[in-house]
Amino acid sequence: MASVVSSPPRTIRIGSRKSQLALVQTYWVKEQLQKSFPNITFEVHTMSTQGDKILDVALAKIGDKGLFTKELELGMLNGEIDFAVHSLKDLPTRLPDGLVLAAITTRENPADALVVHQKYKDRQIDTLPAGAVIGTSSLRRLAQLRHRFPQYTFKDVRGNLNTRLAKLDAGEFDALILAVAGLQRLGMGDRIHQILPPEVSLHAVGQGALGIECRAQDTELISLLQAIEHPETRDRCLAERAFLRELEGGCQVPIGVNTEVNNSELTITGLVASVDGQKLVKDTITGKTTEAEKLGTELALRLRHQGAQVILDEIFAQIQRG
């Protein structure tokens, strides 16, 4: 009787951006998978994306179609890597043909954080002095804060987290608005001065969650990745992404969300604002978690009818004019 030769265990190549935060997130995913599948070899391969290379221009001015994901996606389609780990907020809601969002992992706090210069350690977002210079690279944050705090001055800030914090500490800014999740993942949670409540700043779609993207036909890998998916985070983020997809928004459009799950019910609040913060449309919808994407789409349609379409048309017209 002929002996059966078993094939060696598969080596799975994980794609990641080279930034410190991206690597922390990717190695966390690798560790979770390694615990579940100790016989499989997981290797991390790094790539630089367009968003990593252009650090002196505001994100909204260089477009957002795959700004932090395109090179990783090409790597998957070309067979250089098997899957990629993304900050879910960076992953476009429409993926290239042949790729799927295979899993969404447990979410860190998705809220925005106020980080202040030492001289304002006794202040909160609403008690900073008039004219205080606040740094943010996000139009979503900018629009909401301009709407609520027109007395402040807002400046764009780019670079990795350490670079931004160095600019703050050097006195270039009085405060920064950053993601709670990024600060916590990099062990800088002590820099969080105040976590902004949803009534001040609705967070970005997918903020705080990791999205794992892979080739659609790789069913073996998809089933492996399902082992580290977090169902509640998945439901919340699918609703958020459906909301954004229906509005055809990205980092060039101020769109914010907040989601909560209570038993089998999901509540999603969504917002569309003009960049100057003068116009703002906001509403909330609740339904079953099993209809997460339908809820997100329905909320987007509701906001369109309440005036969001006018805001979106103005923003897109401005983008086309350059």
> CB of 277 within 8 A of CB of 210?
no
- Judge whether 21 and 161 are in contact, CB under 8 Å: yes
CB 204 within 8 A of CB 154: no
* Tokens matching residue 124: 């909160």
CA dihedral 172, 87, 57, 196 (to 10 degrees): -40
Strand partners, 194: 114
- Is 90 among the residues known to form the active site? yes
**Catalytic residue (one of 90, 112, 174, 235):** 90
CB burial readout 121-130, b (16+ within 10 A) else e: eebebeebee
Rg (CA), the chain: 20
Angle between helices 20-36 and 161-169 (to 10 degrees): 140
CA distances from 42 to 11, 48, 179, 199, 292 (A): 6, 20, 29, 42, 32
Query: What positions carry a catalytic annotation?
Result: 90
